[in-house]
Amino acid sequence: MPPDITSPANDRIKWLARLRDRRHRDVEGLFVIEGKRLYRRALEAGLVPEITFLADPTDIATVGKVLTVDPGALDKASYRRESQGVIGVFHQLNTSLDRLQPAEPPLILIAENVEKPGNLGAMLRTAAAAGADALITVGETLDAHNPNVVRASMGALFNVSLAMSNWDELAPWLDANDIRVVCAAPDASEPLWEARLTGPLALVVGAEDWGLSDRALALADDTVLIPQDTGIVDSLNVSVAAAILLFEARRQRT
């Protein structure tokens, strides 16, 4: 049986290809998950696709409406020109702060002014492994549904609560939830392993080179240093710094 769609000029394929652009994603309220492993993880996390484009229908379990597509045409619509056989279109995730329901005691990562989608994805992956309850971004308006976030998160985007917020909204929320705020700052004097990282906790990291805003530092109950050899290279990558903080917190909380 020939596939439902054979031509890359098909209207549905053109529509799918347009979802590579943030503007189109946001207008439609949709985003795209490519590849079998990530698609499977999205279903496992309970996400329901709006539609699934598939090269080989015997290849993977699907949910909802499915269109079969010639593999070459499917690759054309892919972000990396390599669909790995499946592209699912999903409703965008709800990233509002008021939806968060942290565990008790909460362990939260706050990332300020993170610019690179790959770093956001990597932090989601690390936060999942560290057992953090949520990742909250403030500042730069990153696109959570950028394909590089999806890919770098290895599926953690579907499982770790992600909220995109700002200090005006976040400061009273942290206060209302009695969450201690610990900022990582290059000019702090207390090494992170001497600080108390137990109890309800939010760890705040800033983008490389930038440091944290005055607003972030003003909210800090404590500022800590990740002691490191500097001078040779820049400070640690922000997602690596987040990993060191989260796993030191995990050590103390064990």
Q: Which residues bind its own copies (CB under 8 A)?
A: 41, 122, 125-126, 128-131, 153-156, 159-160, 191, 193, 226-230, 232-237, 239-240, 243-244, 247-248, 250-251, 254
Q: How far is the CB of 77 from its own copies (least distance, A)?
A: 25
Minimum CB–partner distance for residue 128 and its own copies (Å): 5
Structure tokens at 232: 């040779």
Distances (CA, A) of 251 to 193, 197, 199, 225, 245: 9, 9, 13, 17, 10
User: Closest CB to its own copies among 8 and 118?
Assistant: 118
**125 Rama class: left (phi>0) / alpha (psi -120 to 50) / beta:** alpha
Q: What's the CA gap between 231 and 42, in Å, rounded?
A: 42
Q: Which two three-digit tokens encode residue 192? A: 């992170």
Q: How far is the CB of 47 from its own copies (least distance, A)?
A: 13
- Residue 16 or residue 134: which is nearer to its own copies going by CB? 134
CB of 165 to its own copies, least distance (A): 23
Please say which residue, 57 or 131, places its beta carbon nearer to its own copies: 131
Rounded to a whole number of angstroms, the minimum distance from the CB of residue 250 to its own copies is 7
Residue closer to its own copies by CB (options 123, 219) is 123
Nearer to its own copies by C-beta: 137 or 153?
153
